[in-house]
């Protein structure tokens, strides 16, 4: 590993074009995400047209989402407990 | 007898330095924090044990360590040094990310962009401290709060600082619940923290399918150096949202990401050898890393307040802190701070929008820094 000597100096920023790099970098990041944001905002309107031209299809390979049995059992137990608690005389 | 003496000279005990001993202790501390305090265990256990393995000294003629050509560890480390593992992790992240909150509130994407200021202001700070531009770029990316992105860029721009940068990035990501709250409270008023936002709208499946394709094209055309990270992120997301490749998406977000996390964490830990890790530069990197997180949080919050000057539907400025893309920890912090003021104010889903936007922003930022600073 090469030896590094530290010199805390404002001139280091100028020599490394730090401000230009920071400004350009932030501008490009913002531009990319602003464009993404605009695209997202326009997407519902585009889909209104697209859905008329290319209607949605349901693929046979896409399995319907199924809740796991353990979830249903847990939910049923929670409901049962809540009802039981509610029905207990105070 | 001289054979025995020669052998003793090759043992790790004979070659152990104080630095190696210290790093062995550091590795054990990481493992202890992971197991006892549940501190990012999926990362700190591999990194901690890798730290222990990497600091067992060997003699020069034995190719054992991660930096020794032809050693087993060097072949595993190849995935880090050549930037292979981070895109694979992004594939898994994309396969487990739900972009629907971002799709329902596009203006919150800008908060993710604002938080990336932490990267570039830290870069300026690193230049001031005397790091070279490439090193400063690799250190600055810590502010993106994204482990794979930090490792990817450090491997490209400053491989000799990769260990310190990776440890700093993951450590501060785990410390988000400590770093962010004071800054969020300092920069917001109670009235602002009580702002309730409109519930996000329903997003159609078609939106979720089209989004990764078009968003990738936008980001890649602007910053093509980010293609590896952004491409894998959106590819993984498409595998998830298309609903016809559920097997592949499931593999990407479970087995694949777990395998890569094990190999990446372990080999990064092995790279933290005392000779390369215990240096004054590492201390500066840790200091700059803390600064980067603080600046990124502040910029996200302040930008939200700025947007409120022009918005009828006010944004809760706390949500800006979630632009720091430590998913989902910073979003959880926003939820927690918001509920301290109003227990019925649910900000988590709103915060997820800038949170995931920040992942995209930090990957684009890494691509920009790589393309400008390489060579």
Counted domains in chain B:
1
Q: How far is B138 from chain A (nearest CA, A)?
A: 13
The series of mean pLDDT values per 10 residues for chain B, 375 residues long, is 80 85 93 89 92 87 84 93 93 93 93 94 94 94 90 92 90 88 95 91 93 95 92 96 95 96 94 87 91 94 95 93 90 93 91 93 94 84
Q: Does B10 map to a domain?
A: no
Q: How far is B5 from chain A (nearest CA, A)?
A: 31
Partner-chain contact A9 B223, CB within 8 Å: no
pLDDT of residue A62: 52
**ipTM associated with this complex:** 0.87
Please, which pLDDT band fits residue A71 given cuts at 50, 70 and 90? low
Domain ranges of chain A: 9-54
- Residues 6 or more apart in contact with residue A44 via CB below 8 angstroms: B207
pLDDT of residue B375: 61
Partner-chain contact B123 A35, CB within 8 Å: no
Partner-chain contact A33 B110, CB within 8 Å: yes
Partner-chain contact B205 A56, CB within 8 Å: yes
Is B260 in contact with B88 (CB distance < 8 Å)? yes
Q: Which of B103, B206, B372 minimises the CB distance to A40?
A: B103
CB burial class (10 A; 0-12, 13-18, 19+) of residue B306?
middle
Q: Which of A22, A40, A61 minimises the CB distance to B120?
A: A22
Nearest by Cα to B118 from A78, A25, A82: A25
| DSSP codes joined into one string, chain A | ---------HHHHHHTTHHHHHHHHHHHHHHHHHHHHHHHHHHHHHHHHHHHHS-----TTSPPP---HHHHHHHHHHHHHHHHHHHS--
For B211, half-sphere exposure in the C-beta direction (CA atoms, 13 angstrom radius) is 34
Q: Which two tokens stand for residue B17?
A: 């330095």
pLDDT of residue B301: 97
pLDDT of residue B158: 92
Identify the closest residue of chain A to B120 by CA–CA distance: A22
Q: Which of B109, B207, B210 minimises the CB distance to A36?
A: B109
Q: How far is B128 from chain A (nearest CA, A)?
A: 5
Is B349 in contact with B105 (CB distance < 8 Å)? no
Considering only CB atoms, which chain A residues are within 8 Å of B222?
28, 31-32, 35
pLDDT surpasses 60 at A5: no
Q: Which two tokens stand for residue B128?
A: 């001031």
pLDDT of residue B277: 86
pLDDT of residue B94: 94
The range of the structural domain enclosing residue B99 comes to 80-373
| DSSP codes joined into one string, B164-233 | HHHHHHHHHHHTHHHHHHHHHHHHS-HHHHT---PPPPP--HHHHHHHHHHHHHHHHHH-GGGHHHHHHH
pLDDT, tens digit, for every residue of B256-272? 999 999 999 999 999 99
Q: How far is B210 from chain A (nearest CA, A)?
A: 9
Partner-chain contact A6 B130, CB within 8 Å: yes
Q: Which of A5, A40, A51 minimises the CB distance to B211?
A: A40
Nearest by Cα to B51 from B29, B78, B69: B29
Q: Longest C-alpha distance within chain B, in Å? A: 86
Considering only CB atoms, which chain B residues are within 8 Å of A19?
124
Partner-chain contact B218 A19, CB within 8 Å: no
Q: Does B329 map to a domain?
A: yes
Q: Does B304 map to a domain?
A: yes
Give ∠ CA B274-B370-B118 in degrees, rounded to 5.
75
Q: Which of B119, B207, B244 minimises the CB distance to A43?
A: B207
Q: Which of B112, B160, B360 minimises the CB distance to A1?
A: B160
Is B73 in contact with A5 (CB distance < 8 Å)? no
Q: Does B116 map to a domain?
A: yes
| Residue at token pair 């629907």 | B100
| DSSP codes joined into one string, B230-247 | HHHHHHHHHHHHTSS-HH
Of all residues in chain A, the percent with pLDDT exceeding 70 is 71
| DSSP codes joined into one string, B299-335 | HHHHHHHHHHTS-SSPPPGGGGGGGS--TTHHHHHHH
Nearest by Cα to B275 from A88, A10, A2, A56: A2
Considering only CB atoms, which chain B residues are within 8 Å of A59?
243-244
Considering only CB atoms, which chain A residues are within 8 Å of B124?
13, 18-19, 22
What is the phi/psi pair of residue B66, to 5°? -70, -25
Is B301 in contact with B111 (CB distance < 8 Å)? no
Is B172 in contact with B145 (CB distance < 8 Å)? yes
Partner-chain contact B218 A32, CB within 8 Å: yes
Identify the closest residue of chain B to A35 by CA–CA distance: B218
Q: Which two tokens stand for residue B207?
A: 């939106």
Residue B70 gets the label, from left (phi > 0), alpha (psi -120 to 50) or beta, of: left
Q: How many CB pairs under 8 A join A and B?
A: 138
> pLDDT: is A58 or B16 the higher one?
B16
């Amino acid at each position: 590993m090469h030896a590094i000597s530290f010199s805390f100096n404002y001139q280091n920023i100028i020599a490394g074009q730090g401000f230009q790099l920071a400004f350009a970098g932030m501008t490009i990041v913002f531009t990319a995400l602003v464009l993404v944001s605009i695209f997202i905002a326009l997407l519902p309107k585009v889909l209104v047209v697209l859905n008329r031209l290319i209607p949605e299809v349901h693929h046979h390979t896409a399995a319907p989402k199924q809740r796991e049995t353990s979830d249903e059992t847990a939910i049923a137990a929670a409901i049962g407990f809540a009802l039981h608690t509610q029905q207990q005389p105070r | 007898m001289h054979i025995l003496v020669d052998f003793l000279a090759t043992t790790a005990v004979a070659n152990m330095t104080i630095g190696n001993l210290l790093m062995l202790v550091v590795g054990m501390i990481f493992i202890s924090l992971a197991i006892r305090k549940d501190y990012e265990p999926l990362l700190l256990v591999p990194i901690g044990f890798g730290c222990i393995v990497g600091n067992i000294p060997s003699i020069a003629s034995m190719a054992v360590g991660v930096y020794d050509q032809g050693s087993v560890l060097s072949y595993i480390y190849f995935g880090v040094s050549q930037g292979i593992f981070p895109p694979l992790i992004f594939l898994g992240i994309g396969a487990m990310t739900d972009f629907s909150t971002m799709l329902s509130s596009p203006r919150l994407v800008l908060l993710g962009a604002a938080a990336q200021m932490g990267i570039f202001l830290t870069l300026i700070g690193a230049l001031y401290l005397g790091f070279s531009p490439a090193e400063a770029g690799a250190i600055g990316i810590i502010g993106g709060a994204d482990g794979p992105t930090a490792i990817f860029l450090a491997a490209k721009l400053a491989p000799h600082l990769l260990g310190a940068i990776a440890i700093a990035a993951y450590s501060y990501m785990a410390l988000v619940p400590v770093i962010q709250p004071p800054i969020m409270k300092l920069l917001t008023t109670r009235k602002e923290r009580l702002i309730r936002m409109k519930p996000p709208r329903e997003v159609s499946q078609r939106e979720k399918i089209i989004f990764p394709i078009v968003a990738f094209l936008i980001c890649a055309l602007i910053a093509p150096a980010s293609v590896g990270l952004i491409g894998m992120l959106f590819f993984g997301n498409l595998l998830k949202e298309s609903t016809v490749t559920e097997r592949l998406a499931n593999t990407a977000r479970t087995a694949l990401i777990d395998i890569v996390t094990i190999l990446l964490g372990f080999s990064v830990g092995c790279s933290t050898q005392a000779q390369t890790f215990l240096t004054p530069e590492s201390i500066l990197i840790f200091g700059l890393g803390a600064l980067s997180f603080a600046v990124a949080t502040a910029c996200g919050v302040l930008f939200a307040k700025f947007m409120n000057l022009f918005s009828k539907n006010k944004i809760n400025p706390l949500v800006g802190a979630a632009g720091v893309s430590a998913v989902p920890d910073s979003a959880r912090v926003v939820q927690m701070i918001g509920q301290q003021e109003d227990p019925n104010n649910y900000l988590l889903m709103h915060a997820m929008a800038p949170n995931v936007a920040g992942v995209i922003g930090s990957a684009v930022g890494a691509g920009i820094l790589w393309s400008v600073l390489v060579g």
